[in-house]
Chain A
Amino acid sequence: MTTTETINTPHVSHMHKVETFKAEAKGVNLYYKDFHALKDISLPIKTNQVTALIGPSGCGKSTFLRLFNRMNDLIDGVKITGEVMLEEQNIYRKGIVVDELRKSVGMVFQKPNPFPKSIYENVAYGLRVNGYDHKDSIDEIVERSLKQAALWDEVKDKLKKSAYELSGGQQQRLCIARALAIEPSLILMDEPASALDPLSTAKIEDLIYELKNKYTIIIVTHNMQQAGRVSDYTAFFYLGELIEYDKTKTMFINPQNIKTQNYITGRFG
């Protein structure tokens, strides 16, 4: 058995079904206590594409993102109706094991949040908590993940050093490597470059472009240019509603809804 096979949960290989949806929200409502945070959202996430979620602060885009690895479960008083499909399975049905689900969905957060451990241990963390003990294969996966995250050359000589010695941009790429190590079928990125300088941002964007070949990515961003640069599809959220969804090019050139138009052209937000 190769390591790749061990790590992949039995998903249908995406090579054969290019146009099927990797994931899909079907009529999702989310309530936080009395607050109706997501209103009847239906949205497909296409395989091996980058889908950008945009909209003003508090519009629900981050909350929507967190549906896909059930991170909203951690907040008291959250109620969710509707279906969220991943690999054609409703991840909110009974019997779904949340940590198993989260293992197959990678997440990159707004601010780089490496663990106070060595660079190596950060990348290995996901493997260790999921029960992989084989040292050689862990070494291999750590190296591969760091290479995929375009960080290997910068850190290969200091894998045992603390992750906190890296710069902000490097830390964020480390967090991406950390997510890649468990071979997720879907990667969620919550404004991954918002805390970084322009140069580091460019590196992350290049990386997203590279990763698209192998992974399906959903990215939340505040930055219109970024959405335009990295995404294939864009969904515009406003006050908990999905206003518009289309190919990024189409939407940026010819938005259908006046709200989308206002937002994209920077009238509010």
Chain B
Amino acid sequence: MMSFIHKRIKQKIAFSFFGLVSLIVVGILFVILGFIIFRGISVINWGFLTQMPEEGMTKGGIFPAIVGTLCLIGGSMIFAFPIGVLSAIYLNEYLKETWLKKFMRSMTNNLAGIPSIVFGLFGMALFVNKLKFGDSILAGSLTLGLLALPVIIRTTEEALKSVPDHLRIGSYALGATKLQTIRRVVLPIAAPNIITGLILSISRVSGETAPILFTVAAYFLPKLPHSMFDQAMALPYHLYVLTTSGTNMEASRPMAYGTAFVLIMIVLIANLLANAFRRYFGKRNKMN
């Protein structure tokens, strides 16, 4: 009888402990989010979002950094989204289980595991120096695009895998070609999840610092870029600069909180959007 009580108490203790730990993990997130939102929100106003930085980045706004980050998001996605989706289609719909598929898959996995600073080195060596793009939005976008590729491929592949095979077979049975089947049957069903992947990779790209350190980011540049060969400021790098190497770090602290707030908001909104998307279309697909 003792042993029964004993093992049940053990279970109680263990489960309470696990619950507590999970609570701590959730707590960590809320502390970080809460701290930055709480400190940052008072800095946020229209001027902060639309003005140039002034007085050694202790006053004014972060407009050029926002614009720069938007340029980088756009630039990287124009390049990475099509290639990523096409690669995933090829991997999932075209390739049979051969050594080529294994090779491509393991390369994609490896790409996902490469540290972002290595992407930065590579971007500098290839785009900035070899191809002579210089420190530019183009070089930064390509570097960030490479970083986002495995994310897009992985989510797209998962989206494609979730399309049941009998739909494909049904389409073939009606005489549709492979391409027609993909375009008319597979992609429409997979689209919401592919878009979810796109949103998440945008969130990822918008926060990356290391890859843009040597490929695009300008320390201080109070004007907007005119072409893709221009340098640009970017939110994450701006936050780094404000925190570690500003001209007057104490005075620029509020600016840093504001920048962190904007970054967090991008991530938060992207995640909420992706979740809502997944939930909404997940339900719809299930009903069909």
Interface residues of A (CB under 8 A from B): 97, 99-100, 129-131
Contact = CB atoms under 8 A, between A and B. Distances in A.
Nearest to A100: B4
B8 A131 contact: no
B6 interface: yes
A267 to B, nearest CB: 30
A99 B6 CA distance: 12
A99 B4 CA distance: 8
Contacts of A131: 2-4, 6-7
14 contacts: A97-B4, A97-B8, A99-B4, A99-B7, A99-B8, A100-B4, A129-B7, A130-B3, A130-B4, A131-B2, A131-B3, A131-B4, A131-B6, A131-B7
Nearest to B4: A100
A227 to B, nearest CB: 35
Nearest to A97: B4
Interface string B1-39: 011101110000000000000000000000000000000
Looking at chain B, what size class is its interface with the partner chain?
A: under 10
Instruction: Output the residue of A129, A130, A131 with the most chain B CB within 10 A.
Output: A131
Nearest to A103: B4
Given A97-B4, A99-B8, 11 more contacts: A97-B8, A99-B4, A99-B7, A100-B4, A129-B7, A130-B4, A131-B2, A131-B3, A131-B4, A131-B6, A131-B7
B1 to A, nearest CB: 9
Nearest to B5: A97
Interface of B: 2-4, 6-8
B5 to A, nearest CB: 9
Tell me the interface secondary structure of chain B in the complex: helix
Contacts of A130: 3-4
Contacts of B7: 99, 129, 131
Nearest to A98: B8
A184 B2 CA distance: 19
Nearest to A129: B7
Contacts of B8: 97, 99
Contacts of A129: 7
A86 to B, nearest CB: 17
Q: Which 10 A-B pairs have the closest CB atoms?
A: A131-B3, A100-B4, A130-B3, A97-B4, A131-B7, A131-B6, A97-B8, A129-B7, A99-B4, A131-B4
A83 B3 CA distance: 28
A130 B4 CA distance: 7
A94 B141 CA distance: 64
Contacts of B4: 97, 99-100, 130-131
Contacts of B3: 130-131
A239 B7 CA distance: 39
A188 B9 CA distance: 28
Contacts of A100: 4
A124 to B, nearest CB: 15
Nearest to B6: A131
Contacts of A97: 4, 8
B14 to A, nearest CB: 14
Instruction: Output the residue of B4, B6, B7, B8 with the most chain A CB within 10 A.
Output: B4
B134 to A, nearest CB: 58
Contacts of A99: 4, 7-8
Nearest to B3: A131
A130 B1 CA distance: 10
Contacts of B2: 131
B261 to A, nearest CB: 39
A130 B2 CA distance: 10
A184 to B, nearest CB: 16
A149 B7 CA distance: 29
Contacts of B6: 131
A97 B6 CA distance: 13
B112 to A, nearest CB: 30
A171 B4 CA distance: 29
B3 to A, nearest CB: 3
A56 to B, nearest CB: 25
A18 B178 CA distance: 69
A259 to B, nearest CB: 33
A42 B221 CA distance: 82
A131 B4 CA distance: 8
A81 B7 CA distance: 29
A179 B35 CA distance: 55
Nearest to B11: A99
A116 B8 CA distance: 25
A21 B82 CA distance: 69
A100 B3 CA distance: 11
A133 to B, nearest CB: 9
A99 B7 CA distance: 10
B114 to A, nearest CB: 35
